[in-house]
Structure 1
């Protein structure tokens, strides 16, 4: 059985900056923070301004740290430290800001003096995620019955600022009105107000295993250097592997799984990933899983390849491993190594095609590995670490890859969770535009591949 089971010199003393105008979030007193969780604390306190960084720190949704905050605005990047009292220290100058809006307004005015406000909670990111998402998570946790329309207070201003933040051209009025058309809100992949955001946690916060912990909790990846290790193997991945894997993950709103075939060279300690083998089956369909895996096993044998890893998708979320993924990866590594004393690595890859935190239309693809917990703490989770990979561009699209793509189209053709490629991913980008744009990043050197892929895309459109 083959189954294994994402300037200027600092002042002499810190300077507290309180600018931010009407956008400034007012600090709450300790009593008011406590009242936020009680029914009597609803009303005006249950707004965006009622939840401050100090509240998020107090309730453990964020942690203080150096360089954990960032702003990207018109090509400029600003980095800040989150202090224990909820204030922000700008790394470059050491200035202290009372709120995200104050810091964002100050930084943006340096780039664009005409900027009137900072829209801080939509502009400032904590460990890569927008702070506004942490506000939503706080309300889900402590006020699940709250009117979620209150969460979107000032949303239009923040969305406009977000477009400017990314350096995009302003959306014409007609296009803005187009956002209100029904078809743009019928897309199952567009996050709706009230969808729960899965906020990644740091590994150091996990501690000993806890059966009550949500197995779908996402965990940030560590670097090998951060745990005083060297990456024990090198990895090279074919661009055709990425193309087929990315294509598979784009087809459905449900999670998909596949295997990776390649070769392991013990002399050079190089793991070469040469083929992706999508599992054309449902995760819950155990009856067909055995037949699918047997077919993949035969394909590996016929091509003289070994099983070297697996991939799966997080359709709407960050391409980071969950606690369940960490345990699965650890199990895969042990199974591949077998009873022999020799070392053979097993590569895990997570693909996030439809996460709106991704940059542009490209999927986030995350190769990872799991380091066993320290011997003195055997009940801890394994440590998920980022794997450095060399991507090798293939010269052409092979017939094997094209055949797999067409088989996937046939498999999902009548599926209820097939992505509707004629609908919109964002106001000016259809789902078809998105998948084309993402796959273009894995394009082979031979430009003739585009005609072949166009045939595949036409088949996708004809599935609707």
Structure 2
């Protein structure tokens, strides 16, 4: 999973939706049930998960609760005391409103309330239906408006999105235990020319649309927002990432390690971790990703992002990349209470539309679609980054480069480094020139890299 480790012990979260949607505390609930009984009219707020459990309308169980919001799925366990345990992190929530608000704010930080009873489903049915069933069973003469008070408005924003088929609980449970999101298993398309489209032309999601359609990046200012975090990227990160992307005509993927400072809102990217595996190799990927997790832990770093290449195309996100980035952002935030950004980077090494011989490197982020248009794609935006020049080339980076050379040595899609990139520049010379843009201050690096280039020459 992206981000820091889940809490060692369950954390009870009490914040939730607006005041009208909050459930009563245990004491208030018991007092109301005792004094009112079934002969008195119980208000909407008095009907809690504890009430439904006690009267047998619902049963506790693992993965029986779910939320589907703006294309993202959340799964929860219903506990015997009426509380909710979020499968993703083990956090405990006192009410559907608290859980729904927390989850929705991860996807859309501007979300004010969770609309819990209209958003949370029990075994596929909205909880509000169980609340209405309770009233019909035990208070048939009660005004049904008491059951729907304040909930009519809640249904509107999620109705269309929640109507889709939910992800099965067992599948969500399996995914939540994965240390890294499995983007390295995605089979990507070949290098055909792809013409980018503007985001405003996309409209609502369409299953007939090519998921490899490239989308131009928007600026934060164009959508009336400020970039919510600052980013600093080490030059050694760029050097290793650029080198990795140059080695093969197929797409590659890797992860980014660093630190997130909540005080300064600064994301510092300090290490790149290339995945030395084929994108479709389902057996090798978990091993490689586990190794990366261990490397992150040993270096005291957190997972802060990912990168991949578009070998011969523009370094712009596809619709598939947009969804992958949204998944990463959600996973990185889902393991802690606070906001933590997740940086996506696309590297385009061999696109002839690039300026000069250098790769185009594009940092990006995805803003959730407007709430009134939940079936739209996320909005890909350009991220402003400060590049920090390292003093020297580290041994770690050099070792990673040599491991990559060995991994691709016998690959059928290995780049032919002796081929010409342009009439007067070989591909190997192009690689050298592109990497020189990430040069450390200590110029001795060039002699060290020459050893790597000699290894490239030797494999062809």
Structure 1 and Structure 2 fold alike (TM over 0.5): yes
Whether contact under 8 Å (2:215, 2:318) holds in the other structure is: yes
CA distance in 1, matches of 2:169, 2:327: 53
CA distance in 1, matches of 2:159, 2:149: 18
Whether contact under 8 Å (1:37, 1:143) holds in the other structure is: no
- Residues 347 and 393 of structure 1: CA distance in aligned 2, closer, same or farther (over 3 Å): same
Match in the other structure for 1:279: 275
* Post-superposition offset of 1:271: 0.1
CA distance in 2, matches of 1:316, 1:37: 67
Whether contact under 8 Å (1:249, 1:256) holds in the other structure is: yes
Larger Rg: 2
Whether contact under 8 Å (1:133, 1:197) holds in the other structure is: no
CA distance in 1, matches of 2:249, 2:362: 19
Secondary structure in 2 matching 1:89: strand
Long gaps (5+) in structure 1:
1-5
CA distance in 1, matches of 2:95, 2:70: 21
CA distance in 1, matches of 2:450, 2:396: 17
Whether contact under 8 Å (1:261, 1:309) holds in the other structure is: yes
Whether contact under 8 Å (1:420, 1:431) holds in the other structure is: yes
- Residues 27 and 363 of structure 1: CA distance in aligned 2, closer, same or farther (over 3 Å): farther
Tell me the alpha carbon deviations over residues 434-459 of structure 1, each in whole angstroms, 9 at most, x when there is no partner: 00000000000001000000000000
- Residues 295 and 195 of structure 1: CA distance in aligned 2, closer, same or farther (over 3 Å): closer
Whether contact under 8 Å (1:88, 1:97) holds in the other structure is: yes
* Post-superposition offset of 1:197: 2.3
- Residues 40 and 8 of structure 1: CA distance in aligned 2, closer, same or farther (over 3 Å): same
* Post-superposition offset of 1:21: 69
- Residues 295 and 79 of structure 1: CA distance in aligned 2, closer, same or farther (over 3 Å): closer
CA distance in 1, matches of 2:9, 2:108: 26
Long gaps (5+) in structure 2:
none
Count, aligned residues: 459
CA distance in 2, matches of 1:306, 1:403: 21
Whether contact under 8 Å (1:238, 1:274) holds in the other structure is: yes
* Post-superposition offset of 1:79: 52
CA distance in 2, matches of 1:94, 1:287: 28
- Residues 31 and 19 of structure 1: CA distance in aligned 2, closer, same or farther (over 3 Å): closer
Tell me the alpha carbon deviations over residues 265-287 of structure 1, each in whole angstroms, 9 at most, x when there is no partner: 00000000000000000010011
307, 322, 336: which one aligns with 1:311: 307
Tell me the alpha carbon deviations over residues 37-80 of structure 1, each in whole angstroms, 9 at most, x when there is no partner: 99999999999999999999999999999999999999999999
- Residues 115 and 325 of structure 1: CA distance in aligned 2, closer, same or farther (over 3 Å): closer
Whether contact under 8 Å (2:63, 2:170) holds in the other structure is: no
CA distance in 2, matches of 1:15, 1:122: 24
Secondary structure in 1 matching 2:64: strand
Whether contact under 8 Å (1:24, 1:102) holds in the other structure is: no
Whether contact under 8 Å (1:317, 1:354) holds in the other structure is: yes
Tell me the alpha carbon deviations over residues 151-203 of structure 1, each in whole angstroms, 9 at most, x when there is no partner: 99999999999999999999999999999999999999999999852110000
* Post-superposition offset of 1:426: 1.1
Match in the other structure for 2:3: 7
Once the two structures are superposed, the pairs formed by residues 91-240 of structure 1 within 5 Å of their partners are 196-240=192-236
- Residues 422 and 334 of structure 1: CA distance in aligned 2, closer, same or farther (over 3 Å): same
Secondary structure in 1 matching 2:184: coil
- Residues 209 and 143 of structure 1: CA distance in aligned 2, closer, same or farther (over 3 Å): farther
Structure ranking higher on relative contact order (CA contacts 8 Å, 6+ apart): 2
* Post-superposition offset of 1:131: 55
* Post-superposition offset of 1:115: 59
- Residues 132 and 459 of structure 1: CA distance in aligned 2, closer, same or farther (over 3 Å): farther
* Post-superposition offset of 1:427: 1.0
* Post-superposition offset of 1:7: 53
Secondary structure in 2 matching 1:174: helix
Whether contact under 8 Å (1:36, 1:45) holds in the other structure is: no
* Post-superposition offset of 1:252: 0.2
